Amino acid sequence: METNAQFLDRLTQPAWIYEEESNGVRCLACAHQCLVLPGKRGVCKMRTNKDGVLHSPWGYVAAMNADPIEKKPFMHFLPGSLALTFGMLGCNFHCDFCQNWVSSQTLRDPASASALRYIREIQPEGVVAAAERAGAKVIASSYNEPLITTEWAIDIFNIAQEKGMRCVYVSNGFATERVLKALQPTLDGLKIDLKCFSDEHYRTLGGRLEQVCHTIQFAHDLGIWVEVVSLVIPDFNDSTQELWQMAEFVRSVSADIPWHVTAFYPTYHHTSAGRTPPETLQLAAEIGQEAGLQYVYAGNLPGRVGSLENTYCPHCQSLLVKRWGYRVEENCVTDENTCPQCGQVVAGVWH
């Protein structure tokens, strides 16, 4: 009988984001840069070396939904539009608080095997057609870590771009320069998690702080629209000092990068900490504002974080976009991407 790994290995195609080495292939789709020996798989478990050729997942989705772009979350990227969001399986991290662990921990955690039941084989044209049917202006790769399936995403994004759609990633940011350069021609927006500001903690999740910071800087330098999200977890990353460090780092890249501080709820193996109280998000947001960030948002607690779901003009403080949760109730940004009151340019992708 076919194993889950064999089934997933059938749903692959030869990859191209890698280099050959004398004894295997060096995958460059994420910062692990695994040396994958013949017959073996990388840290993500999804990219495999078949007879000296790296293969990556292709030709399926494990989830596909038309979501508000605010759910990704993007606040400065076509507010109020729908994002046809697809996900595959697997991840290069193993966060014990993952809210998508059933799709991310495939072949790593046996409890996530049920995710394979949701696999639907599809071609890139089929994903774009689904976006057209839904009236989505955006296509998003999310739910699992998109970096590990970048060849598949680029095949979809090329078609979507021809149809005038915008394309985004919802990623943990553990990228290489090579994969970001490969994505840059088709990737319009990148949401990156900044999960903490402790390298020690990052390593327990399977990553490295310095590399995620480099991705934020490098993607911004490439001209990709970047928004940063920090899930604020009690006793993990919610000290005043660590919140300051995260905010100051984002500010050092650009004051125009939106920083989302979002509320945690106990999940997967991280159930000892309680939910993030609204007061903690308020404090984190104040820290972001004091650090000099122009746009700070509090998420996952709709209606409970005061004005922190809205966008205000950083110059005259006029209300620009009014939101309740994922719903946009008002959007006053002009066709010239400016504040209608004072003419200040508002950073983002508005049209």
Could you give the CA distance from residue 98 to residue 90 in angstroms, rounded to a whole number? 12
> Which of the stretches 29-37, 189-197, 227-235, 342-350 binds ligand SF4 when contact is defined by CB under 6 A?
29-37
CB of 51 to ligand SF4, least distance (A): 16
Residue from 8, 24, 25, 42 touching ligand SF4 (CB under 6 A): that is 42
The residue nearest ligand SF4 at its CB is 42
**H-helix or E-strand spanning residue 297:** strand 296-299
State yes or no: residue 310 binds ligand SF4 (CB under 6 A).
Answer: no
55 lies in the binding site for ligand SF4 (CB under 6 A): no
| Residue 81 CA to its chain's centroid (Å) | 17
Contact set for ligand SF4, span 57-96 (CB under 6 A): 92
The candidate with the shortest Cα–Cα distance to 151, out of 213, 207, 88, 98, is 88
Phi, psi of 48 (to 5 degrees): -130, 155
Provide, rounded to whole angstroms, the least separation between the CB of residue 44 and ligand SF4. Answer: 3
Using the contact rule CB under 6 A, the part of the chain among 43-51, 95-103, 126-134, 314-322 near ligand SF4 is: 43-51
Region near ligand SF4 per CB under 6 A, out of 32-40, 63-71, 103-111, 293-301 = 32-40
Euclidean distance between CA atoms 241 and 239, whole angstroms: 5
Q: Does position 228 bind ligand SF4 by CB under 6 A?
A: no
Give the number of residues in contact with ligand SF4, rule: CB under 6 A.
13
Q: Compute the Cα dihedral for 6, 175, 104, 154 and give only its sign.
A: negative
Check whether the bond before 73 is cis (ω within 30° of 0): yes
Report how far apart, in Å, the C-alpha atoms of 132 and of each of 15, 99, 125, 129, 285 are.
27, 28, 10, 5, 37
Q: Is position 289 an interface residue for ligand SF4 (rule: CB under 6 A)?
A: no
Name the site residues for ligand SF4 (rule: CB under 6 A): 27, 29-30, 32-34, 36, 42-44, 47, 92, 148
